[in-house]
């Protein structure tokens, strides 16, 4: 080999070479806070010279994302990465569509950085096939602080305190609970109430293990009783989206919203400060208990593409696990990092509290997967759960009849093969 070529080759091997490539990413993060968070990743990729291609599916909580993705995958044209969560990851991996990320994971020591409750969800048959971006908690209550202060109220810790506060808020002419009119939003509130009223063991038996006798039970009757009291305090108007409901709390039109901590992303986007403009407290009766919802990107096998696209895909995976992304993204998104080896010093009070609750709950058996957000069960059971809760929200039945119907719906969802 001529000397010059030899030297060039050596230089190429020694310097990190930027293979600028296209990376197509399916996601459904379209609200203000969500988009601001995702911009962190887009920027990190752009800084490395890659071209980001959005494959956006609007609709919150997933919408029609899976159907669209299926069409693309069946055409042999998957995106490089898609926002897929929980048990759905296993389904795509079983069908052989996902890439094996173990080389990157071993080189970058993912097993040392991720708690097993997170890494278990990302692996299929011991192979990493997805990358986690965060841990959300669904059992939060968001509060407009100036409104509560003006009415001389404290953040409620129990349902009795909640009822007393609700009466004062209503008498003063404000909406008590802001809630968008979508099945997944109702399901999100219902699971928080289930954890609160029934406790961690009950939640696990009913919504993770789907024990019929745990669902059709006196505990579930009590859950419905409480849930229906909350439904009476809601006003279903044209504000269907969750972030429109959050906005009502931000603007002081409503006092409370029960929602996962992606709601905090909206407060942050509106430049509101925790414990000054708003409060983040566990849904009454759920302190030290944590329903988790982990966002992640499943990484697809790409065939017949330019080498640069594979390079861009690898860069995406590495960026998602980087300190800078996990820190900046989650401060915008409202969640905490998926990695537990990171400093929380730059995070706000809500996030620091969330991390300590996550670790406490992990130690005391109260860290549980969210059924409303695809962590606890299959998509089919989840769908039956959603439909039943939405139906009963619109037309409440007696608590006992509601429990029976819910137990039947979940059992039905388990029988359907999809």
Interacting residue ranges for ligand BGC, rule: CB under 6 A: 34, 60-61, 136, 242, 262, 293, 295, 373
Q: Please, what is the minimum distance in Å from the beta carbon of residue 214 to ligand BGC?
A: 25
By the 10 Å C-beta count (0-12 exposed, 13-18 middle, 19+ buried), 9 is classed as: exposed
Query: For ligand BGC, which is the closer residue by CB, 34 or 48?
Result: 34
If the CB atoms of residues 188 and 220 are measured against ligand BGC, the closer one turns out to be: 188
Nearer to ligand BGC, 163 or 241 (CB): 241
Least CB distance to ligand BGC at residue 316 (A): 17
Cβ atoms of 165 and 156 within 8 Å: the answer is yes
| Residue number with CB closer to ligand BGC (83 or 286) | 83
Considering the complex, what minimum distance in angstroms separates the CB of residue 228 from ligand BGC? 24
The DSSP element (H or E) to which 405 belongs, if any, is: helix 399-415
Smallest distance, Å, CB 178 to ligand BGC?
15
H helical segments located in 209-299: 212-215, 218-232, 242-250, 262-269
* Smallest gap from residue 61 Cβ to ligand BGC (A): 4
Minimum CB–partner distance for residue 207 and ligand BGC (Å): 16
For residue 112, count CB atoms less than 10 angstroms from its CB and return exposed for 0-12, middle for 13-18, buried for 19 or more.
Answer: exposed
Residue nearest ligand BGC (C-beta atom): 262
Instruction: Using the minimum distance from each CB to ligand BGC, give the nearer residue, 60 or 78.
Output: 60
Q: Between 180 and 399, whose beta carbon lies closer to ligand BGC?
A: 180
* Coil, strand or helix at 301: coil
How far apart, in whole angstroms, are the C-alpha atoms of residue 411 and residue 313? 40
State the maximum Cα–Cα separation within the chain, in Å, rounded to a whole number: 88
Query: Cα torsion for 376, 379, 382, 387, to the nearest 10°?
Result: 170
Tell me the C-alpha distance between 239 and 63, whole Å.
17
């Amino acid at each position: 080999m001529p000397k010059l070529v030899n030297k060039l080759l050596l230089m190429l091997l020694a310097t990190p070479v930027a293979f600028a490539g296209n990376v197509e990413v399916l996601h459904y993060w379209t609200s203000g806070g969500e988009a601001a968070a995702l911009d962190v990743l887009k920027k990190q990729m752009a800084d490395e010279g890659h071209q980001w291609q959005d494959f956006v599916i609007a609709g919150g909580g997933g919408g029609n994302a899976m159907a669209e993705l299926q069409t693309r995958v069946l055409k042999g044209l998957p995106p490089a990465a898609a926002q897929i969560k929980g048990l759905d990851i296993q389904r795509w991996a079983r069908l052989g569509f996902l890439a094996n990320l173990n080389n990157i994971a071993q080189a970058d020591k993912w097993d040392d950085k991720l708690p097993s409750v997170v890494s278990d969800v990302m692996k299929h048959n011991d192979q990493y096939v997805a990358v986690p971006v965060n841990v959300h908690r669904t059992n939060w209550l968001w509060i407009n602080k100036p409104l509560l202060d003006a009415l001389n109220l404290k953040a409620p810790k129990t349902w009795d305190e909640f009822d007393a506060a609700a009466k004062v808020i209503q008498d003063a002419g404000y909406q008590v609970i802001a809630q968008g009119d979508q099945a997944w939003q109702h399901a999100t509130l219902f699971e928080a109430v289930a954890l609160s009223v029934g406790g961690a063991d009950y939640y696990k038996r009913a919504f993770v293990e789907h024990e019929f006798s745990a669902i059709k039970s006196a505990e579930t009757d009590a859950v419905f009783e409480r849930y229906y009291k909350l439904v009476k305090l809601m006003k279903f108007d044209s504000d269907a989206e969750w972030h429109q409901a959050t906005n009502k709390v931000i603007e002081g039109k409503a006092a409370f919203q029960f929602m996962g901590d992606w709601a905090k992303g909206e407060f942050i986007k509106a430049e509101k400060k925790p414990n000054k403009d708003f409060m983040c407290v566990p849904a009454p009766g759920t302190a030290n208990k944590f329903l988790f919802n982990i966002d992640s990107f499943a990484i697809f096998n790409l065939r017949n593409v330019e080498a640069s696209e594979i390079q861009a895909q690898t860069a995406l995976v590495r960026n998602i696990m980087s300190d800078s992304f996990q820190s900046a993204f989650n401060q915008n998104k409202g969640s905490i990092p998926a990695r537990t080896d990171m400093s929380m010093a730059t995070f706000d009070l809500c996030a620091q509290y969330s991390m300590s609750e996550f670790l406490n709950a992990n130690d005391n058996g109260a860290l549980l997967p969210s059924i409303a957000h695809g962590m606890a069960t299959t998509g089919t059971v989840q769908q039956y759960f959603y439909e039943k809760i939405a139906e009963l929200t619109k037309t409440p039945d007696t608590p006992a009849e509601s429990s029976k119907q819910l137990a039947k719906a979940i059992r039905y969802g388990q029988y359907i093969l999809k």
